[in-house]
Structure 1
Amino acid sequence: MRYLLIMFAISLPFLANAQRNPELDDMKLKKKAVKQVVLDFFEGFHEGDTTKMKMVMHKDMIMQTIYKTKEGEDVLNQDDTSKFLNAIAGRPVGQRWNEQLLLFKIEVEDYMAHVWTPYEFYLNDQFSHCGVNSFQLFKDNGAWKIIYLVDTRRRAGCKD
């Protein structure tokens, strides 16, 4: 009996590995890589390091913002990526932009990925607004690149 218990204990790790799903493991790795791209983007954003941001941005990246005017009109605004990067690089010294990502929902299919990240934005530690980022990524010669970013912005209904 003792021999059987020892043999079972020794074989347990092998049995656990036999239960692994390589496709599931591969998807977890893909999602982790995609998430890292978004984290790198925001690391550069917070540091004011546009070079770091450009490393994960496709050269033809599209940026848009959706918001509601004071008059209640829904607006879709096309942003100029170069102006966005210039604003980050030209941010006054001492001014802190902190976009806190609250959740990651990630979907991956071959060479395309989608990341949904609700967020809260703070300017110099003061709450400014909240919303959702929607990233589309393309696997460009083995490296994930952000090709499209649209976000929403609102001040009401942010903090429950």
Structure 2
Amino acid sequence: MKSIITFVLLFVSIVSFSQNEEQEQVIESVNIFFAGFHTQDSTLIKSVVYKDVVMQSVGVNKEGETQLYSSNFSDFLKQIVSIPEDNTFLENLLSYSVQIDGNMANVWTPYEFWYNDQKSHCGVNSFQLIKENDTWKIIYLVDTRRKCEE
């Protein structure tokens, strides 16, 4: 009986360690994306993005209706690298919630966005990732944007 309990505890520990390591790798891909974003390095961003990435935002139009906006990834990269050097911006991720099933992962990251040292907006990013050749790649990114509640 003692050996069965020891085996079960060892198995649970190995699975838990493996899953924590996998979660760290998923988070690392998201962090690399934002490192490239903040340094305006399109090559770094592309290193963790799948070839057919989809980018969308959920927002509210002037009439107060919920809208889904789609963005072209190439246009997104052009916008990021063209931000003038004298403008500062920071997307401050407040937390990470990671879910993994096999070669698919989801990361939910609430954030605050700062532009020229002023809080611009808040929201949530939802990243979908796929594990390809032992590397987690972002296949889908959808976010929300709203005025921050103080």
Cα distance in 2 for residues equivalent to 1:20 and 1:41: 32
- Structure 1 segments, 4+ long, off by >6 Å, are none
Where in structure 2 are the equivalents of 1:11-160 lying within 5 Å?
Answer: 21-155=13-147, 158-160=148-150
Quick one: structure 1 residues 75 and 18, their matched pair in 2 at CA, closer, same or farther if it must change by over 3 Å? closer
2:39 corresponds to which letter in structure 1? E
- TM-score, structure 2 as length reference: 0.90
User: What are the superposed Cα offsets for residues 79-110 of structure 1, whole Å, 9 maximum, x if unpaired?
Assistant: 11000000111111121120000010001111
- TM-score, structure 1 as length reference: 0.85
Task: Report % sequence identity.
Answer: 45
Structure 1 residue 159 displacement after superposition:
3.2
Structure 1 residue 40 displacement after superposition:
0.6
Structure 1 residue 21 displacement after superposition:
0.6
Cα distance in 1 for residues equivalent to 2:85 and 2:109: 27
Q: CA RMSD in A?
A: 1.4
Quick one: structure 1 residues 149 and 18, their matched pair in 2 at CA, closer, same or farther if it must change by over 3 Å? closer
Quick one: structure 1 residues 71 and 28, their matched pair in 2 at CA, closer, same or farther if it must change by over 3 Å? same
Quick one: structure 1 residues 19 and 27, their matched pair in 2 at CA, closer, same or farther if it must change by over 3 Å? closer
Note the residue ranges of structure 1 that are not aligned, 5 or more in a row: 1-16
2:113 corresponds to which letter in structure 1? F
- Residue equivalent to 1:12: none
Cα distance in 2 for residues equivalent to 1:42 and 1:159: 23
What is the total number of aligned residue pairs between the two structures? 142
Structure 1 residue 122 displacement after superposition:
0.4
2:149 corresponds to which letter in structure 1? K
Note the residue ranges of structure 2 that are not aligned, 5 or more in a row: 1-8
User: What are the superposed Cα offsets for residues 56-90 of structure 1, whole Å, 9 maximum, x if unpaired?
Assistant: 00010000000012320111011110000001111
